[in-house]
Amino acid sequence: MSHPFATLTPDLVLDAVESIGFLSDARVLALNSYENRVYQVGIEDSEPLIAKFYRPQRWTNEAILEEHRFTFELAELDVPVVAPMIHNGESLFEHAGFRFTLFPRRGGRAPEPGNLDQLYRLGQLLGRLHAVGATKPFEHREALGVKNFGHDSLTTLLEGNFIPRSLLPAYESVARDLLKRVEDVYAATPHTNIRMHGDCHPGNMMCRDEVFHIVDLDDCRMGPAVQDLWMMLAGDRQECLGQLSELMDGYSEFHDFNPRELALIEPLRALRLMHYSAWLARRWDDPAFPHSFPWFGSERYWGDQVLALREQLSALNEEPLKLF
C-alpha cells in the first residue's frame, strides 16, 4: 500500500490553496514536518501562507476543529498564538481527499536553554494558556495517560518486531518495570487534567519582536499542567531548580499551579521516551521516516533506549523537584 501522502504533490498543494479562492504564484516550499505535511505557498501580491495538510485517519474532523476552537479562544483573549485563518467562515478545508488548514506566516526563534529572563516570560505565557485551558474540557481529544503513551507504545514496539532480538529481553524488562513505577507515582500524585498544548518543547514557543508565541497545537489534549512545563527545563538538578523558580514566578501571575504535580515530571519524561519510539514505529511505512530517521531499528539506537529507560527508572526513585 502507498503511504498516506503519496499523492500530495506540489501541484495538488497549489490546487488545494487555489480551490478556496487564493491565487498562488506557483511557489511551494516544503517545511520541516513529519506527522503532517506543511508548506509555504506564495500568494500573488500578498504575503505567503502556510498550508498544513493533516495526516489522513489520525484525527477526526471534530478533533481538528476542537483544536482550532481552542486556538481561537486563546487568540480572543490576546494570548499570543498562531491561529488558523478563517476563510468564508471556515478553518478546515478539504481537497482531493486531504484535509488542510491555512495559517499566516510567522517567523521567530526558539528560547535559549536556561535563559532565566525568557523562562519568566514563558511561564507567563503558559500560565495564560492554562488559565484558558482549565475553563472546560476537550470532548473529542484523548487525555495523556499511562495506557496510551506507555502500555500501548510498548505493545506497538513488541508486536511490530522493531527491537533487535539481542536487545528485546532487556528493553521489555526495563520498560515493564518502568511502567509499573510510573503507574505507582501517577496513582499517588493528585493532579487535574486540563486542556494543554501537549507537545510544549522550546521549538513550539517562538519569539518574534521580543514576544513569545505559541505554535503548533496539533497535539493538544487533556493532561496535567506540568506536562507543558517540564520541557522548558534543561541541565542538572540545581540548574533546573533555578529555572523552575523563574518559570513558576511568571506562571503563577495568571494561573494557580499544584506543586504536587512536580512528582509527575519524571513519569511524563518516561512516557515521552516510549511514545517517541512507538511514534517512529507507527509511521515507518511513510517513506519520509526511514529517510529522516535511518538509525531507528539499529542496535545502537535500542541500546541507547535501554540505557535511557534504566536512567529514568533511577530518576523515578529520586526526590522530585520542589518549589521554594
Whether 216 is catalytic: yes
Whether 199 is catalytic: yes
Per annotation, catalytic residue among 11, 78, 184, 199: 199
216 is in an annotated binding site: yes
Hey, which residues does 207 pair with through a beta bridge? Answer: 109, 212
Per annotation, catalytic residue among 45, 78, 216, 236: 216
Do 95 and 15 touch, CB atoms closer than 8 A? yes
The catalytic residues are 199, 216
Binding residues: 204, 216
Binding residues for Mg(2+): 204, 216
